[in-house]
Chain A
Amino acid sequence: MTIFSKHKNKANVLPVMLVLTSYFLLLTSFNKELTADELVKKVKAKMDKVNDYVATGKMKTDVVFIKAPVANIKSYYKKPNRFAIKRDGGVSLLPKGGVSVNVSSLLLTDEYTAIDAGKTTLGTTAVRIIKLLPLSEKSDVVLTTMYIDEANLLIRKASTTTKENGTYDMEMQFGKYADWGLPDKVVFSFNTKDYKLPKGITLEYDDGSKKPELPKNKKGKVEITYSSYVINKGVTDAMLK
């Protein structure tokens, strides 16, 4: 965006130079623009600075049939793909493949084809849309669409379509740990299935509370807000169990 605005400004100030300058500037900017593959690799390289981390945060579960309080959690990560979420004194339900909550796992392997799919803005951030197609036939993931903030080399959003479990959306907000490519907040959206247990088994107590109406799209959301990361201080295997 900045490149284009510069170009416009110059055009306004020096109309004579318009065609020539704009040509060169455009050429320069296209030259600077990375290919999809290069961009993904750059993002990956940035994230590779993190060997391991322990993150502390709070998790909110917003699924129509799950009633759970905000949970204090700790996330553990170790290169290349070890990831675990734990909470003290409690039980939580995490959307299948908790690893997906971890950004770097999106870029685990090299076995994909990256395709440039244009640009857009997320909020006020300009992002490039990159589609990743796994090469392996066995992969559950059919397609991952990434919205990459090229300026900061951050993945702002990722949308993953799987064979079995529908589409997952992951939105990330960055703050203090943006330099490490680690988000302050991850919002994970996913499709949920119907939940039902035979009533006879549970012998329900009906306290008159309204039963939740099942929404049509049955989207669930899990939101994790990290308050701190301890990066590259070592994570043992025991922590990841």
Chain B
Amino acid sequence: MSNNTQDKLAQDLSTYKYGFSTDTKSVFKADKGLNREIVEAISKYKKEPQWMLDFRLNAYEIFKSKPMPTWGGKLSEIDFDNIHYYVKPSDRSMRDWADVPQDIKDTFDRLGVPEAERKFLAGSGAQFESEMVYHNLQDSLTKKGVIFEGIDDALKNHPDLFREHFATIVPPRDNKFAALNSAVWSGGSFIYVPKGVHIELPLQAYFRINSENMGQFERTLIIVDEEASVHYVEGCTAPTYSSDSLHSAVVEIIVKRGGKCQYTTIQNWSHNVYNLVTKRAKAMQDATMFWLDCNLGSKLTMKYPAVYLMEPGAKAEILSVAFAGSGQHQDAGAKIIHAAPNTTSSINAKSISKGSGRSTYRGLLKVYPGMKNCKSKVACDALMLDKESRSDTYPTMEVDEDEVSIEHEATVSKIGEEQMFYLMSRGLSEQEAATMIVNGFIEPIVKQLPMEYAIEMNRLIELEMEGAVG
């Protein structure tokens, strides 16, 4: 790395306002490195049933047998032996914020988590290191049969519902990092929305990595029953350390007949986190799945939220924003599988690269033979802010049916000198003008966010835009 790049990186890191770490005592911290004993220890520590231990050990073997992916981002620098795979910060997950240990509470207070819950959420959860430390849901929703708990609790409290759906959407064999997650998973949310129940306000979970060389492997499982609806939002941050952390989550969603699910992510990991996540949903008859995926942080993100449209009338919408600043690579995209006729999908991906940042759109649209009357619209737009920034697009289309309507468009643009001059002539500084152009570029996506998150997004973009543009 040249001095120049390092300076830029240091500058980028210094603008990251969540880069603080707190001095917390963990209850249990597994040694660095991964082997069968660690996997067994995690399961034993959690007092899991035998089937889960078997599932983990099997996944561990799959993880070992699968080669590292050679596509996407540069993964060769991940040192699997230098990671703590399990760190337990407190004894159990609390329902009352006052019961959360003070040092952890301080962290989330600084991140504004409890405040957000009071203001505009139906429920919220918080994960610190490997475990959920807090989960709470409005009483009215609990009475309607809604379940929103830490996923480890759900394994104990709702064993049948859990086992019926767990790993059915993303099996361990899916990819190397799904296998890793399956072996050492810990924490994450479990949501069940019963038939016909609509949760008006979002549910939110906040994920925080605090230790150095930490691996966070949460798993989220969402089951939306028939004609029910939910909007789940996740946010995440980590301190800025000199060595890298790994976040490798698995998210599985089942949306049953006529149900609706929106899953919104505002990913803002510090620039030393590898973020390698498998997210997939299955939409049944007339169900709608909506992924809204915003990636601003991390060193490398590889994430392609997917929807399998399983029955007629199912709909998928994927909106994604990726911002790659200097030293960052956002390899993000979307996957849609039309596995039933009369299904509809749309993808709108927008990426911004700044400095030496690289953003990649990687997408798959697949229509199986015989799946007539499917409709899909794919649009990906890239905006480059500097001469050295980079953007690539890999939109794969596998359409094996003629009676379909598929639209695809892609644009690549640069911030133009004339556009900048025009805005600056109105009194905006160079940075304000560029920020305005960037915020305008992602506006069609940001306006789909609840207002509080839209404001947060614009503010995060402003922070990312700090430093010279040129």
Do the two shown chains form a genuine complex with each other?
no
Q: B: which residues have CB within 8 A of A?
A: none
Q: A: which residues have CB within 8 A of B?
A: none
